[in-house]
């Protein structure tokens, strides 16, 4: 069933899969790898292997197709919802520290896929 209410998102979003390495800000050695479910310049929906508390800070390294280097960001967990019991979670993130160069790389990627259709 799809959502039919008023659109509340501030930024256009693409439903593409990009590789992301992530970890809690305070955990230097517990890096995990997953994929985005969607992406916009304000945040992303990420499939994670554990549930995170809302407000938790994650360090993200995103690999985008038109950029030679990973984009490293800090994001805040908005929600982490269980999809498969004790295995898979949909984790909504909001970027909290993003500079103009990072914003441009993400915006260029989003705009490319929006135009591609």
3-state secondary structure 9-58: CCCCCECCCCEEEEEECCCCCCCEEEEEEEEECCEEEEEECCCCCCCCEE
Tell me whether residue 63 is in a domain. yes
Would you say residue 92 lies in a domain?
yes
Domain housing 38: 19-116
pTM of the model: 0.85
What is the CA 30 to chain-centroid distance, rounded?
18
Q: Is residue 44, in this structure, part of any structural domain at all?
A: yes
Residue 95 maps to a domain: yes
Q: What is the pLDDT along the chain (117 residues), one digit of tens a residue?
A: 443 444 455 778 899 999 999 999 999 889 999 999 999 999 999 999 999 999 999 999 999 998 899 999 999 999 999 999 999 999 999 999 899 999 999 999 999 999 986
Return the number of other C-beta atoms located less than 10 Å from residue 23's C-beta.
Answer: 15
**Domain holding 40: CATH number?**
2.40.10.220
Q: Would you call 38 exposed, middle or buried from its count of C-beta atoms within 10 A (0-12, 13-18, 19+)?
A: middle
């Amino acid at each position: 069933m799809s959502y039919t209410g008023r659109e509340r998102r501030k930024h256009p979003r693409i439903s593409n899969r990009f590789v992301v390495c992530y970890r809690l800000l305070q955990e230097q050695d517990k890096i995990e790898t997953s994929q985005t479910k969607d992406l916009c310049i304000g945040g992303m929906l990420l499939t994670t292997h554990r549930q995170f508390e809302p407000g938790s800070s994650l360090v993200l390294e995103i690999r985008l197709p038109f950029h030679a280097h990973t984009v490293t960001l800090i994001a805040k967990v908005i929600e982490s919802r269980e999809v498969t019991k004790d295995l898979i979670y949909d984790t909504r993130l909001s970027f909290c520290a993003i500079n103009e160069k990072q914003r441009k790389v993400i915006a260029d990627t989003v705009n490319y896929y929006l135009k591609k259709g």
